[in-house]
Amino acid sequence: MVMLPAADIRRAVRLGLEEDLAQGDVTTTALFSTPTPARAKIIAQESLVVAGLAAAVQTFLAVDPSLRLSVPRRDGEQANNGDVLLHIEGDGRSILQAERVALNFLQHLSGIATLTQKFCHAVRGYSVSIMDTRKTIPGWRALQKWAVALGGGMNHRRSLSDGILIKDNHLALLDYGQQAVQTACRLACSHRRDTMPIIVEVESLPEVRQALAGKADIILLDNMTPAMVRRAVKLIDGRALVEVSGGITLKNVRAMAAAGPDRISIGALTHSAPAATLSLVLTPAPSPRRRRL
């Protein structure tokens, strides 16, 4: 079950509306001096995985609690071109004021979920997890990782406290020369809490051997070709989990999965996912019919 980051959504909605409405909506105020009944619907304009509806709903209600909403789709569901994701009724001024922030949530998060699903589908048949990274928009990490999970992916570390991940710059700063990987792993083992995993990033087979000697739990093969990954997997031989990362695309991810890793981490899931194509269509509400005397 994908958990809804409710507190993070509330915070993101508040910040988004402060950004857009702190000084008011001068256009809507200039054009409409009184309540203007209206109806709106948000429509998918491509096939996508829905993500961000919870945030969109909160956005409209934060602007105007009297708005009436109905939600024919749910976060995590598939939607096709032309499907309605959300109906809104009420004061058109309020709908206009919430429109952009609500669509920002839906377009960005649905884009992440949809791209994640494409990667997961690309590696069907292989026992490998598609994972995100910490390459997220500041303040949006929980929402972006939620969208990855809705698309079928797995979440990597949520923060620097979630696991020890020794990367190239750690090794450069440690300055232990050719034994840096093994030394770093041993230092990490002596400082880790409970069963916290130790992950180390390596770029060559000699570094893989050092990682094994240092008792790393997960060996991250960075920017290796599928052929190199296959050799590393054979060398590791189940003594550690194998993760691959760097340069992973929809074109090469299946070949990478075939090389035998346990995990494939992809920064592009969150930092480069194209926004989903959605639109909000707004129309005046029909005037009530006059009753005959």
Which CATH code fits 6-117+275-284? Answer: 3.90.1170.20
Question: Is 222 annotated as catalytic?
Answer: yes
Cβ burial, residue 51 (10 Å; 0-12/13-18/19+): buried
Determine the pLDDT at residue 291: 45
CB 116 within 8 A of CB 130: yes
Considering 10, 100, 118, 230, which one is annotated as catalytic? 100
Domain 120-271: give its CATH architecture.
Alpha-Beta Barrel (3.20)
For position 288, what pLDDT does the model report? 64
Given the residues 74, 167, 234, 239, select the one marked as catalytic.
Answer: 167
145 catalytic per annotation: no
77 belongs to the catalytic site: no
pLDDT of residue 193: 76
Give how far Cα 123 sits from Cα of 148, 152, 231, 239, 265, Å. Answer: 16, 12, 20, 23, 13
Which one from 91, 132, 201, 217 is the annotated catalytic residue?
201
100 as an active site residue: the answer is yes
Q: Which residue numbers in the chain have pLDDT < 50?
A: 290-293
Residue of 135, 158, 230, 231 with catalytic role: 135
Annotation says 201 is catalytic: yes
The residues spanned by each domain of the chain are 6-117+275-284, 120-271
